[in-house]
């Protein structure tokens, strides 16, 4: 009887590790973005893995393990944030237009050569730089922006992961985009992307 239980637990652990291991690198990156601290991110991922293993029997085999685990990971990040009892971060959007990137790319003359210059610009910015920009915005917007822009989650998947209505996700993403636009334009300038695009336009 004892041997059967041991074998069963070994099989359970193996099945869990097979599903978890491919996610760990991205999970750590997500946790770094949400916590802004590598050490905190390691703790959060470890805690999430422990919680997931304890709850593994409730996971429906054959369904989306990544979404299931990321929901646990996100909850751990939120729990850590509440424990630290940080004050809400003030967000001032008055000086950032909803069409900031559109206006900047238009002023740079990119609209003459491309019908979606903002997308053209975004495609030139590395994922690492986008992650840095996302890390700079307040947590409630940072989490949904990370899941949407870096993990390619749908509104419904994000709503499930952060346990809030889809309408709230849309609202946070809307505000998060406004915060990101100015930073992304600055990154594009610093990385020489703007000057490269202008040169390409001149040579076209």
pLDDT-derived band at 81 (thresholds 50, 70, 90) equals low
**What is the spatial distance between Cα 202 and Cα 30, in angstroms, rounded to a whole number?**
39
- Token pair listed for 47: 């805690």
Q: Domain coordinates of the chain in residue numbers?
A: 2-84, 100-203
Topology (CATH) of 100-203: Arc Repressor Mutant, subunit A (1.10.10)
Residue 3 has pLDDT above 60, yes or no: no
Architecture of the CATH domain 2-84: Orthogonal Bundle (1.10)
For the CA atoms of 183, 184, 189, 194, what is the dihedral angle to 10 degrees? -150
Least confident range of 11-25, 84-98, 118-132: 84-98
Residue of 168, 151, 150 lying closest to 159 (CA atoms): 168
Q: What is the DSSP string of 134-160?
A: HHTS-HHHHHHHIIIIIS---HHHHHH
HSE toward the beta carbon, residue 43, CA cutoff 13 A: 12
Mean pLDDT, rounded, of the chain: 79
Whether 52 contacts 28, CB under 8 Å: no
For the CA atoms of 127, 129, 133, 136, what is the dihedral angle to 10 degrees? 110
Query: What pLDDT, on the 0 to 100 scale, is given for residue 147?
Result: 84
């Amino acid at each position: 009887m004892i041997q059967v239980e041991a074998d069963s637990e070994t099989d359970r652990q193996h099945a869990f590790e097979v599903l978890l291991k491919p996610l760990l690198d991205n999970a750590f990156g997500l946790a770094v973005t949400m916590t802004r601290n590598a050490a905190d991110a390691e703790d959060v991922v470890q805690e999430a893995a422990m919680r997931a293993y304890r709850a593994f029997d409730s996971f429906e085999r054959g369904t989306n393990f990544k979404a299931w685990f990321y929901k646990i990971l996100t909850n751990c990040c939120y729990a850590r944030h509440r424990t630290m009892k940080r004050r809400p971060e003030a967000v001032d959007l008055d000086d950032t237009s909803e069409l900031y990137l559109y206006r900047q790319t238009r002023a740079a003359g990119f609209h003459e050569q491309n019908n979606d210059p903002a997308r053209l610009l975004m495609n030139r910015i590395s994922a690492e730089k986008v992650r840095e920009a996302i890390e700079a915005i307040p947590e409630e917007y940072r989490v949904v922006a990370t899941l949407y822009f870096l993990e390619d989650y749908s509104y419904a998947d994000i709503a499930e992961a952060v346990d809030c209505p889809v309408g709230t996700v849309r609202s946070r993403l809307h505000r998060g985009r406004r915060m990101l636009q100015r930073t992304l334009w600055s990154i594009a300038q610093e990385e020489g992307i703007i000057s490269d695009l202008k040169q390409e336009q001149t040579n076209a």
